[in-house]
Each structure stands twice: as C-alpha cells, then as structure tokens.
C-alpha cells in the first residue's frame, strides 16, 4: 500500500538496509523520484540523523554528470528524508545509501556519536565511496636524468677520440650534406622544443583559465606540448616530468608518454591504471578527468591525448596532470590544469 513522505505521494519501499529505507514515489508534478529516509525508531536516534546529514552534504558536494540531482531534503522532519529525481542511466538515492553503509553499521548502536560535519570529508568522490587511501601517490624518481648523464659521457668520449673532426667535416662550410635538419612539425621548433600555442582553445575542466597574470612557460625538449603555470609555482624538470610546488605546499606535476595504437579501448585501458578512479570521459575521447576533495585538499588527475606526435602520426602523446593542493592553491592549479588541457587539444601533428 502506498503512503506519503512529506509532499511526495505514492511512496513504496524499494530496499531496506537496517535503519535506512529506500523508496520510490512521485512529486507534486507527477515526476518519479527516489526517497531515502530513516525508519520510525531510527529517526529518534541523533547519531543516525547526523550521519544522514553528513551523507547528504557529501552528495551535494560530489554530484557528477552521472548523478541525478537532489530535489529536496528535509533533515529536521520527524522522519528525515532526502529526495532525488529518478532518471534512467543516472545514479539516484542509492549512492547516498551506499555512502551511509560505508560510514557505519546499518543496525544497532553506532560505534561512536556522529557529529554533523565530522565525516563529510572522509570519502569524497563523484562515485560511490572509494577506499580512504585512494589518494594520489608519489611516483618513483624518473630514470631520465641518469640516462642523459650517460649519453653526455658517451658524447664526450666520442669527441675526445676524433669525433669532433668527423662532425666538422660533415658540417663544414660549403657542404650541403647533413646541413639541413628535416622540417619541424607545427607547434615544434626545429630543435624539438615545443612552442606554446596562443591560438589554443579555452576549454575548462573547472575554474578559470589564465588571463593577464604572470606565468612561466615550460617547453621541454622532446615533449609534444608546452604549457604555463603560475609564476609563484616553484618548478623543476628532469626531462621526463615537470613537478611544481605550490605556494601553500601542494604539488602540481605533468608527464607524458607515447601511446601506439591508441584507439578507444587502448585509451580506456591506459586510464584504468591511473591513480584517481574512475576517470570520466567528458565528451571528447581525447580528454578524461577525475577529482576529489579530501578535508581541505583538492586532488585531481587529467588524461589528455595529442592528435599524433611529431613525425609519427600513428602514435599519440598521453599527457597526464596530477594535482594535490590545499584549497588556497586550488584556483591557480585549475588554471594550470586547463592550460595543459588546451595546449594538448591544439597539438595536432
């Protein structure tokens, strides 16, 4: 038999998990909704009510493109509830229920009193709760620098044993052979150093893009793209990765790798091995993104593919941006992230 909860009618039970009840109903305009509420006895438990408040705050803060929006929540009612539109293909109120089940047992007394706001930032993601240790990990030191030192040593030895005379003979005035390197691809100087493209698009994955503020440009030899970061970032590069420290002690890093035969499935496979999951396709197969808010720190990863590489149209460049910054540095980190995104979208070889 149907009943009403608040202004919602035709309410019927879909699922019960201890203190929590997931229901279906319709709003005043006849639109289908899902309602998550507490049982009659659990509604009198301040700890249960506080946990529901935390779960609703989490859902508000982490609503993604695959999540149905919250229509209404009355958490001070005798029987508190939260209502989500029922939309086929999108996650409804069950994601809030799963959040509650992750925060504590569904039956019996809670292990400790729940204070509103005490748990809302422990498992924040745009998907159902992830393990609490799903934070971007520090990567191992790149081996590029030792390899470069070894190559330099080999070149020096070559020069000392007569290589210098051979190079002079090959490139001496009047000799055309070997004097002209092959023409560089668009966006690349003849020395293999990429150029920052002022005609790149102005897309955003959140936040703003750079305007007239002071920035520093990184154009690393052999990379498919150049990009800008705020002038206040302290950055360094070993050739394989650019890593920056933000003013408040966060990290912003960019690295890339070649991806051969990078069709749709290969891109999905590559992205499935990244730290933040799941990586979300934002409507362009060359772009995927994920982020989370952990306490007062913002974590994000972007996965961007170039359209080919210089001299290798069958191979794409995979540019990865990894961000872990305090909230005070978030807006500047978003600008840098968006700059890498747009420069990658403009990279067509």
The domains of the chain are located at 3-103, 215-345
Give the orientation angle of helix 46-61 with respect to helix 94-103, to 10 degrees: 130
Classify residue 308 by its DSSP letter.
Answer: S
Just give the CATH number of 215-345: 3.40.1000
CB 106 within 8 A of CB 100: yes
Find all residues with CB under 8 Å of 125, minimum gap 6, and list them: 62, 134, 292
The reply to whether domains 3-103 and 215-345 share a CATH topology is no
| pLDDT surpasses 90 at 226 | yes
CA–CA gap between residue 238 and residue 141 (Å, rounded): 9
Joined tokens for residue 45: 């438990």
- CATH 3.30.200.20 for domain 3-103: yes
In 3D space, the residue among 315, 328, 323 whose CA is nearest the CA of residue 339 turns out to be 323
What was the pLDDT predicted at 271?
A: 93
Of residues 1 and 183, the one with the higher pLDDT is: 1
What was the pLDDT predicted at 149?
A: 65
What was the pLDDT predicted at 184?
A: 43
CA–CA gap between residue 93 and residue 25 (Å, rounded): 12
Q: Which pTM does this prediction carry? A: 0.51
Of residues 192 and 344, the one with the higher pLDDT is: 344
């Amino acid at each position: 038999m149907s009943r009403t909860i608040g202004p919602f009618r035709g309410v019927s039970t879909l699922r019960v998990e201890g203190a929590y009840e997931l229901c279906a109903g319709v709003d005043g305009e006849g639109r289908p909704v899902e309602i998550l509420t507490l049982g009659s006895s659990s509604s009198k438990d301040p700890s249960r009510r506080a946990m529901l408040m935390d779960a609703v705050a989490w859902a508000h803060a982490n609503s993604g493109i695959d999540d149905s929006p919250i229509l209404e929540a009355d958490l001070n009612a005798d029987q508190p509830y939260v209502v989500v539109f029922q939309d086929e293909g999108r996650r409804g109120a069950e994601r809030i229920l799963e959040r509650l089940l992750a925060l504590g047992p569904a039956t019996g007394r809670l292990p400790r009193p729940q204070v509103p706001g005490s748990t809302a930032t422990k498992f924040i993601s745009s998907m159902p709760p992830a393990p609490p240790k799903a934070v971007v990990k520090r990567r191992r030191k790149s081996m590029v620098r030792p390899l470069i030192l070894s190559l330099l040593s080999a070149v020096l030895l070559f020069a000392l044993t007569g290589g210098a005379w051979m190079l002079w003979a090959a490139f001496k005035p009047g000799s055309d052979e070997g004097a002209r390197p092959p023409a560089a691809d668009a966006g690349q100087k003849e020395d293999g150093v990429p150029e920052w493209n002022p005609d790149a698009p102005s897309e955003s994955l959140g936040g703003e893009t750079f305007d007239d503020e002071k920035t520093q440009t990184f154009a690393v030899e052999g990379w498919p793209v150049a990009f800008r970061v705020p002038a206040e970032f302290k950055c360094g590069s070993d050739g394989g990765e650019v890593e920056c420290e933000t003013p408040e002690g966060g990290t912003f890093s960019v690295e890339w790798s070649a991806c051969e035969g990078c069709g749709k499935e290969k891109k999905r496979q590559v992205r499935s091995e990244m730290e933040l999951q799941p990586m979300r396709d934002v409507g362009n197969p060359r772009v995927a993104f994920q982020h989370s808010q952990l306490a007062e720190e913002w974590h994000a990863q972007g996965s961007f593919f170039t359209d080919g590489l210089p001299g290798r149209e069958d191979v794409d460049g995979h540019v990865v941006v990894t961000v872990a910054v305090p909230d005070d540095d978030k807006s500047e980190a978003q600008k840098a992230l968006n700059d890498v995104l747009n420069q990658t979208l403009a990279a067509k070889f």
